[in-house]
A and B are shown apart, each in its own frame.
Chain A
């Protein structure tokens, strides 16, 4: 049994490595492949074909994979009669198109191989739960990567996935404070704004600053940071503000936090639009041209790692104290838990990740403007947290994707006029989406007051655990 497993896992790993080598062999040679397809140099004589080929080559120079694929398809389909699309060329073309998917799949196979190998060395020969989660996470990321490279990164699905994962991080960060620590804060949009601006300000390349800060002589700051340190800085900036607000407010009764944070979010929005700070914030003008991400894997990895860190905090002895404070402040204090310290910790961590989420949102939108970070943004996040379940990380994550999908995609049709057989369907008109959306949410809040998940987590263990009937004896 053990040797079988080892052999299988080694075969899987070899298979995965082979697949990567095989598919990477012909990935860079697209120029060469184009030459090989055009055996008779037709492109030189045929003007139309020359133009189509030119477009492909141009997009290769731009290094925009989506564009390359689009132009390549047009070129090979339009001139399929004239090109040599058989044999090796067909195989290479296929691999060029599906190389990323093949890589993703081979990494998944690799992960499965490792998981089986680990189970072979386990005492009871069992597949351990962490290995299963590991494989599932790899599968998720592979799936996102494949979708991006086949459906295209501008598709509705990818939009929802990218925005969804960013909202998931922000919702989980809010849940840490509101759901796990029982502190009601309404400052999420403010902390996101600080994160988004900090990130944007520090990653605009100096060459573009004259254009972006055109009304402020190119602005004050004349250097740029790499993306990842800038994201961390965005978190730190938001955390710093939370620290300052917390100093006076967290010693008071918890209601004051809601008022203080709501006020803070409004004030910070005004301050960032203030003309006097223009050389730094660009006043009420857009910030743009900062570093963005070119693959959905980026927000997935940053948000994924962040959510995991929050989950780790919640499952530590500090997280237990947060929950104790939520359940009963007086008892928590009597157990030796310093209320102020622990509330401050939770508030600062929550705001740090709201800042990181703000930075990711800036990258996703490619532009930032302070006026967009309104209180309604906070309410949106709060809604996700409440519907997902106060005190449930998995609830917040799932609801974020559902919420973004519903508001950006599934309910869009409600805003458009629909005519079936000359009959205009009534009610469907711009704005109707909002009405339906609000009603759905009202029903949710009225009848599922504790949200989809309550304070429970969705875990594999629960999914596969044998269901034990409560109270009653088992009949056989």
Chain B
């Protein structure tokens, strides 16, 4: 058995008749930065959602450290509609809610930033420490958990320090500029103490300079917290710069896989990105 940190096996996600992710198999090893790239609408975010429990895939399995965390096969109406492959191979049905996946140590950020809009920068990160609590409703309400509360606050502050937003901790989160909101999302994900970080277009809307800084930042937190990183990104400089391996998908299908050097010269990838008709 191979020892991958995260492994996707034959993941297929079909919405009605649309196959958004088609038989995607891939893996992330411990300590790696792995990128998933592809043109708009290729199915990258959908693949993330299948891993994190937001969608339950129509078919396929997700393994985290060799244990099955998500598993499904076409059922019910989908059994007849199914347009993908390998329908019969995963008998188990495992469909955890997203919070369970997060508790396992997989934390994510969102492509379309999803901060808690009425809360301050600090509170946004503090909420992400809730899963570390040992207090129950009663002890928390009566403030008998003040020691733990102090620890959680320190953790939240520490994460703000890591992303360099400590000075802005009392601002309303959504009042921050775009780039800082993205960093705040990363701080929030880190506060759940993940082992694997899933970043959905963390550099979207950033200029080359900011994107460069972000690349260094991702490498630095990877080392600092001993993370593995699974990254979706359109900024090719960033991807080529920091990725150990790259997967490319188009129309939900895997079209290439390799090191940045191999991917850069792959004719299929160039064709997909330039929209060249292969016929």
B142 contacts A320, C-beta separation under 8 Å: no
Give the CA-CA distance A331 to B130 in the complex, in Å: 13
Measured CB to CB, the closest approach of chain B to A207, in angstroms, equals 38
Closest A residue to B142 by beta carbon equals A312
Q: Which residues of B contact A335 (CB under 8 A)?
A: 99, 102, 127-128, 130-131, 188, 192
Contacts A320-B126, A338-B97; A331 near B143 (Cβ below 8 A)? no
Q: Does A255 contact B (CB under 8 A)?
A: no
Q: Is the CB of B116 within 8 A of A316?
A: no
In the assembled complex, A85 has its CB within 8 A of some CB on chain B: no
Q: Knowing A312-B141, A313-B137, A317-B130 touch, does A336 contact B102 (C-beta < 8 A)?
A: yes
Q: How many residues of A contact B (CB 8 A)?
A: 27
Residue from B97, B133, B188 within 8 A of A333 (CB atoms): B97
B114 contacts A by Cβ under 8 Å: yes
Q: Which of B30-62 contact A (CB under 8 A)?
A: 52-54
> What residues of chain A lie closer than 8 Å to B250, measured between beta carbons?
none
B84 at the interface (CB under 8 A from A): no
**Using an 8 Å CB-CB cutoff, how does the interface string of A310-322 with B read, 1 for contact, 0 for none?**
0011001110110
Q: How would residues 82 to 109 of chain B score, 1 for a CB under 8 Å from any chain A CB and 0 otherwise? A: 0000000000000001110011000110
- Give the one of A318, A334, A340, A391 with max B CB within 10 A: A334
A333-B116 contact in complex given A321-B127, A345-B137, C-beta closer than 8 Å: no
| B233 on the A face (CB < 8 A) | no
Given known A-B contacts A324-B119, A331-B110, A336 and B143 have beta carbons under 8 A apart = no
> Nearest chain-A residue to B185 (Cβ)?
A331
Question: Residue-by-residue, is A299-335 near B (CB-CB < 8 Å gives 1, otherwise 0)?
Answer: 0000000000100110011101101101110111111
Q: Which residues of A contact B131 (CB under 8 A)?
A: 335-337
The answer, yes or no, to whether A339 is at the interface (CB within 8 Å) is: yes
Q: Does A266 contact B (CB under 8 A)?
A: no
The answer for the CA separation of A338 and B137 in the assembled complex, in Å, is 14
Within 8 A of A (CB), among B115-154: 115-119, 123, 126-131, 133, 135, 137, 140-143, 145, 149, 152
Task: Please measure, in the bound complex, the distance between the C-alpha atom of A174 and the C-alpha atom of B103, giving whole angstroms.
Answer: 31
Question: What residue in chain A is nearest B53 (Cβ atoms)?
Answer: A333
The answer for the CA separation of A324 and B119 in the assembled complex, in Å, is: 8
Is the CB of A455 closer than 8 A to any CB of chain B?
A: yes
Residue of A nearest to B125 (CB): A335
Residues of A contacting B133 in the complex (Cβ-Cβ under 8 angstroms): 317
Residue of B nearest to A335 (CB): B128
Q: Is A339 a contact partner of B97 (Cβ separation < 8 A)?
A: yes
> A324 near B127 (CB under 8 angstroms)?
yes
Give CA–CA (A334, B113) in the complex, Å. 13
Are A328 and B117 touching (Cβ within 8 A)? yes
- Bound form: Cα–Cα A327–B130 in Å: 16
Chain B residues, CB < 8 A from A332: 116, 127
In the complex the two chains form, is A334's CB within 8 Å of B127's CB? no
Interface residues of A in 331-355 (CB under 8 A from B): 331-340, 345
Give CA–CA (A332, B53) in the complex, Å. 13
Q: Which residues of A contact B152 (CB under 8 A)?
A: 317
Question: How far apart sit A330 and B54, CA to CA, in the bound complex (Å)?
Answer: 8
Query: How far apart sit A309 and B140, CA to CA, in the bound complex (Å)?
Result: 11
> Which of A316, A330, A334, A336 makes the CB contact (< 8 A) with B140?
A316
Binding site for B on A (CB under 8 A): 309, 312-313, 316-318, 320-321, 323-324, 326-328, 330-340, 345, 391, 455
A-B residue pairs in contact (CB < 8 Å), sample of 30: A309-B141, A313-B141, A317-B135, A318-B140, A320-B126, A321-B130, A323-B116, A323-B119, A324-B119, A324-B127, A324-B130, A326-B118, A327-B116, A328-B116, A330-B54, A333-B54, A333-B99, A334-B98, A334-B108, A335-B102, A335-B128, A335-B188, A335-B192, A336-B99, A336-B103, A336-B128, A336-B192, A337-B99, A337-B127, A339-B97
